[in-house]
């Protein structure tokens, strides 16, 4: 417990520093925020326009498809808010400054993942949450489904953390982070729609190998009451296995770190 | 012409040096295509036509849009703002060739490489997912008008992208405006869906901007979904936008050079 409190304190300090740094480039921050909100709004308008002509798709109603998109937006933005430091990891490995993280009395994984929260994404999280609840009000949700949904929403963020850990690990091994993180974002983008929309092979990949489906579609299905104990069990087992594998991979990558440029 | 060819060749070798970056970039585009295909496939389940498009036409639209956007919207001008800010623009200014000629050479190779890869991706996509795209006839008239609109759209985007880079003459914050611009272009150019699926009012308002003419218009022309008058009007509007941005580019370049201090060079 004391250890958790210590890490929380460190995270708050690092986040405060990150927020302060952002205020030096206020103009850029406003533009970035505007871009994010614009993209979100436009996709929402597009979905509403498409589903004004058809009642639904792939067995999902219009409202359910929009909720899936909103859950994707929430998990994606929450993970960007929390794990923004991953986007700044490459120079640390290339120039060898990652050495400094390794000698600090804090987990280097913690610093690489949580070292610089992004205030812009915190703002968008608030906006997306409001829109989410507006659309949610059109559905009947039981307290049990909502509680399980929250649990699996957190599970989605944990899976996002696992993906980011894998990106960091490959970054140590190859120094390739920038494109890799964007490819992760594009794979994650496949979760904007329910994974049931994809063909069997792709659905398998997106459920068991790159569990985007468990990140995005399972929380939505729980919310709609389209779940059973087997689905939840499989989702939890796959999530645990994926997270554990990412930690093992991180450990392996750390052993291979050569500190080449320092 | 010989100089231009040499510049293109040099740029091509630069691409070969950073080929992994490029392959990864193309992979990202491929993933988008997969997403769009399955989205539209689900939407069209049980529907014959939607928004005036058949399922085959919408699949062809996203495939053509992928190729057109990889040609029109790929650009080598992304680093201009940074070059102005760190003073490395001076290196180019000292060369015995015009800045615009050098940028055009970079642009040509960037577009050709992206175009070639997008064709490969389309074949790979068809091989993997076998989308229903037969039943749409292309006429020589629509192909001809498509080529004209594609060339105009490419020129227009080149000038718009140059103007974005020139922000560097007056500000060090060049990435944020480019990010916003990319968001706007990727949403409003019609890369992901035909823009006429949007509410009529919004669609009409969008047509007042240059963005729909970059991808949506050429693809619509190629698919034969535009009337003769619409094609002629669209080409004219494209031409006017190109002239406007050409003038704007020249103006900003002259004004920008006057304030350029080669700081950091």
Give pLDDT tens digits for B143-161: 999 999 999 999 999 999 9
Q: Tell me what pLDDT residue B60 has.
A: 92
Q: Tell me what pLDDT residue A77 has.
A: 94
| Residue in the structure block whose two tokens are 């392996």 | A252
Better-predicted residue by pLDDT, B174 or A8? A8
Contact status of A174 with chain B (Cβ, < 8 Å): no
| Chain-chain contact of A183 with B28 (C-beta, under 8 angstroms) | yes
Question: What share of residues in chain B are helix, strand, coil (percent, to 5)?
Answer: 75, 0, 25
Token couple for A65: 């498809």
- Cβ contact A239:A98 at 8 Å: no
Residue of A nearest to B182 (CA): A35
Q: Tell me what pLDDT residue A238 has.
A: 97
Q: Which residues of B touch A58 (CB under 8 A)?
A: 42, 45
Give pLDDT tens digits for A88-102: 888 888 888 888 888
Segment A140-168 shows an average pLDDT of: 95
Indicate if the alpha-carbon torsion angle A36, A37, A43, A44 is positive or negative.
positive
* Mutant choice from B183, B188, B199, B200 vs A, greatest count of A C-beta within 10 A: B183
- Where is B54: in which H helix or E strand? strand B53-54
CB nearest to B176's CB, from A32, A54, A58: A32
Q: Which residues of A touch B27 (CB under 8 A)?
A: 183, 186
Residue A262 in this model has a pLDDT that exceeds 60: no
- ipTM, interface predicted TM-score of the complex: 0.89
Separation CA B65–CA B185 (nearest Å): 13
Residue A24 in this model has a pLDDT that exceeds 80: no
Give pLDDT tens digits for B36-57: 999 999 998 877 788 888 888 9
Separation CA A170–CA A173 (nearest Å): 5
pLDDT > 90 in chain A, percent: 63
Residue A178 in this model has a pLDDT that exceeds 80: no
Q: Tell me what pLDDT residue B66 has.
A: 92
Contact status of B25 with chain A (Cβ, < 8 Å): yes
| Chain-chain contact of B129 with A54 (C-beta, under 8 angstroms) | no
Q: Tell me what pLDDT residue A23 has.
A: 76
| Chain-chain contact of A45 with B199 (C-beta, under 8 angstroms) | yes
Residue A55 in this model has a pLDDT that exceeds 90: no
Give pLDDT tens digits for B24-39: 777 888 899 999 999 9
Residue B72 in this model has a pLDDT that exceeds 90: yes
Residue of B nearest to A32 (CA): B176
Q: Please give, rounded to a whole number of angstroms, the shortest distance from the CA of B35 to a CA of chain A.
A: 6
Token couple for B238: 């494209």
Question: Considering chain B, what is the average pLDDT of its residues?
Answer: 88
Distance from the Cα of residue A13 to its chain's centroid: 22
Question: Considering chain A, what is the average pLDDT of its residues?
Answer: 91
Per-residue pLDDT band at A187 (split at 50, 70, 90): very high
Q: Which residues of B touch A27 (CB under 8 A)?
A: 171, 173, 176
Token couple for B53: 């498009």
Identify which of B34, B100, B109 has the alpha carbon closest to the alpha carbon of residue B71. Answer: B109
Residue of A nearest to B26 (CA): A183
Token couple for B143: 């192909």
Q: Please give, rounded to a whole number of angstroms, the shortest distance from the CA of B173 to a CA of chain A.
A: 6
Contact status of A38 with chain B (Cβ, < 8 Å): yes
- Give the pairing type, strands A60-61 and A56-57: antiparallel
CB nearest to B173's CB, from A27, A38, A192: A27
Segment B71-84 shows an average pLDDT of: 90
Q: Tell me what pLDDT residue A110 has.
A: 94
Neighbours of A5 (CB within 10 A): 9
Q: Tell me what pLDDT residue A191 has.
A: 93
Separation CA B82–CA B262 (nearest Å): 12
| Residue B173: φ, ψ to 5° | -90, 80
Of A63-67, A141-145, B43-47, B149-153, the range with the lowest mean pLDDT is B43-47
pLDDT > 90 in chain B, percent: 46
Per-residue pLDDT band at B18 (split at 50, 70, 90): low
Identify which of A212, A207, A209 has the alpha carbon closest to the alpha carbon of residue A234. Answer: A207
Q: Tell me what pLDDT residue B264 has.
A: 63
Residue A261 in this model has a pLDDT that exceeds 60: no
Per-residue pLDDT band at A260 (split at 50, 70, 90): low
- Rg (Cα) of chain A, in Å, rounded? 19
Q: Tell me what pLDDT residue A125 has.
A: 93
Contact status of A179 with chain B (Cβ, < 8 Å): yes
CB nearest to B24's CB, from A42, A45, A183: A183
Separation CA A23–CA A28 (nearest Å): 9
Domain boundaries in chain A? Answer: 2-256
Residue of B nearest to A53 (CA): B50
| Residue in the structure block whose two tokens are 């091509």 | B12
Residue B10 in this model has a pLDDT that exceeds 80: no
Contact status of B78 with chain A (Cβ, < 8 Å): no
| Chain-chain contact of A57 with B42 (C-beta, under 8 angstroms) | yes
Identify which of B221, B183, B218, B237 has the alpha carbon closest to the alpha carbon of residue B67. Answer: B218
Segment A122-146 shows an average pLDDT of: 92
Residue A163 in this model has a pLDDT that exceeds 80: yes
Residue A108 in this model has a pLDDT that exceeds 90: yes
| Chain-chain contact of A179 with B184 (C-beta, under 8 angstroms) | no
């Amino acid at each position: 417990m004391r250890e958790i409190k210590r890490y929380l304190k460190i995270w708050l300090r690092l986040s405060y520093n990150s927020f302060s740094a952002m205020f030096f480039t206020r103009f850029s921050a406003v533009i970035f925020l505007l871009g994010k909100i614009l993209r979100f709004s436009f996709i929402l308008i597009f979905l509403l326009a498409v589903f004004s002509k058809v009642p639904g798709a792939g067995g999902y109603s219009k409202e359910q498809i929009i909720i899936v998109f909103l859950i994707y937006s929430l998990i994606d933005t929450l993970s960007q808010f929390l794990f923004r430091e991953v986007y700044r990891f490459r120079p640390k490995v290339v120039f060898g400054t990652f050495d400094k993280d390794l000698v600090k009395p804090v987990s280097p994984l913690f610093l690489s993942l949580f070292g610089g929260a992004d205030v812009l994404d915190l703002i968008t999280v608030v906006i997306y949450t409001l829109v989410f609840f507006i659309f949610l009000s059109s559905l009947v949700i039981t307290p049990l489904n909502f509680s399980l949904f929250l649990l699996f929403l957190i599970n989605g963020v944990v899976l996002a953390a696992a993906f980011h850990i894998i990106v960091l690990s490959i970054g140590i091994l190859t120094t390739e982070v920038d494109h890799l993180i964007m490819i992760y974002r594009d794979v994650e983008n496949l979760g904007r729609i329910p994974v049931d929309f994809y063909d069997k092979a792709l659905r398998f990949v997106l459920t068991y190998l790159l569990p985007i489906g468990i990140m995005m579609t399972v929380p939505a299905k729980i919310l709609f009451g389209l779940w059973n104990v087997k689905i939840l069990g499989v989702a939890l087992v796959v999530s645990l296995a994926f997270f554990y594998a990412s930690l093992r991979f991180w450990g392996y990558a750390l052993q291979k770190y050569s500190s080449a440029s320092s | 012409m010989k100089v231009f060819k040499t510049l293109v060749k040099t740029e091509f070798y630069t691409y070969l040096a950073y080929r992994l970056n490029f392959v990864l970039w193309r992979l990202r585009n491929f993933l988008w295509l997969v997403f769009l295909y399955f989205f539209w496939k689900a939407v069209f389940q049980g529907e014959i036509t939607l928004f005036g498009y058949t399922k085959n036409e919408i699949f062809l639209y996203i495939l053509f849009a992928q190729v057109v956007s990889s040609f029109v919207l790929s650009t080598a001008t992304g680093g201009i703002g940074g070059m102005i800010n760190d003073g490395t623009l001076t290196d180019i200014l000292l060369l015995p060739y015009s800045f615009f000629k050098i940028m055009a050479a970079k642009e040509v190779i960037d577009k050709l490489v992206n175009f070639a890869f997008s064709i490969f991706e389309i074949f790979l996509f068809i091989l993997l997912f076998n989308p229903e795209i037969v039943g749409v006839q292309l006429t020589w008239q629509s192909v001809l008008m498509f080529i004209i609109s594609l060339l105009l759209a490419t020129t227009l985007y080149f000038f718009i992208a140059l103007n974005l880079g020139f922000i560097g003459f007056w500000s060090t914050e060049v990435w944020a405006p480019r990010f916003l611009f990319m968001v706007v272009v990727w949403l409003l150019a019609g890369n992901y869906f035909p823009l006429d699926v949007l509410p009529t009012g919004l669609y009409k308002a969008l047509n007042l901007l240059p963005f729909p003419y970059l991808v949506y218009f050429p693809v619509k022309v190629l698919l034969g979904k535009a009337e003769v008058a619409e094609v002629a009007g669209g080409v004219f509007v494209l031409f006017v936008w190109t002239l406007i941005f050409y003038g704007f580019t020249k103006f900003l370049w002259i004004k920008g050079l006057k304030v350029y201090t080669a700081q950091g060079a």
